[in-house]
Amino acid sequence: MSGSKMRFNGYRVFGFPRSGSCITAYLIGTNFFGLKTLDRASVSNVSSALVIEKARKNNKAIICTWRNFVHSAKSLYAIRSRFGIGDISLADFMDTPLKKMPRVSGCQTPIVFNNGDTKEVSDLVRSSWNDREDTVREWWTKCIEFWTKQAIGSQDILVTNYESLVSEFHGTMLRIAVFLGSDKRSFVNRDERVGIYPVGGDCANVLERNREVLGFDNA
């Protein structure tokens, strides 16, 4: 652990899918908690009072990261077949109820999970959000509203922004350090992606075509 005044025994990073939660968790773990790789258990897309209560019971810092909606949606769209979602336009993907989206029976493009040290191929997964009544846009809005509200007046919840982490790395990490109670003032960044991302096929092409819009995409 780094710093003599650390306020927490650990950390949990929450956020809408593809909002930079993996790279945020990786940077927190490696810069403040002595980890060498991404702790997968530290990352969650769940937004509920229950996960907050559990984190608090274990004295874990709660960090919520958010990202511009269009950027998050495009990044999620790029790996949609991993969750069994089939052929659909990006515009319809953003505004169609998740449970009504077309389905495929298998992952249509190679998806890799990189924990910061090793990479493994990820196949089709079943996710509870496949049965959601809301759209991707509505889900994103609910997530932002939930965590913003929870952070008001809280001493153990910090809301951070993925775009700021990319464009203002030192300032964002310094803000996290102060929140954690760490006296660190220098931080190590990472250029290679961490977490789940496509490595070939149509999904990768969609992501590549949007790199200028998405910017440095580590999420």
Domain ranges across the chain: 10-214
If one counts every other C-beta atom within 10 angstroms of the C-beta of residue 95, the result is 11
Which residue do the tokens 């509870």 mark? 128
The length of the chain is 219
pLDDT level of residue 202 (50, 70, 90 thresholds): very low
pLDDT of residue 190: 84
> In degrees rounded to 5, what are phi and psi of residue 96?
-105, 135
CATH class for the domain made up of 10-214: alpha beta
Lowest mean pLDDT among 22-36, 67-81, 152-166, 183-197: 183-197
pLDDT level of residue 127 (50, 70, 90 thresholds): low
pLDDT level of residue 124 (50, 70, 90 thresholds): low
- Identify the CA nearest to 28 among candidates 57, 50, 3: 3
For residues 63 and 137, what is the distance between their CA atoms, to the nearest angstrom?
Answer: 22
pTM (predicted TM-score):
0.81
Asked if 103 and 83 count as a contact pair (C-beta separation under 8 A), the reply is no
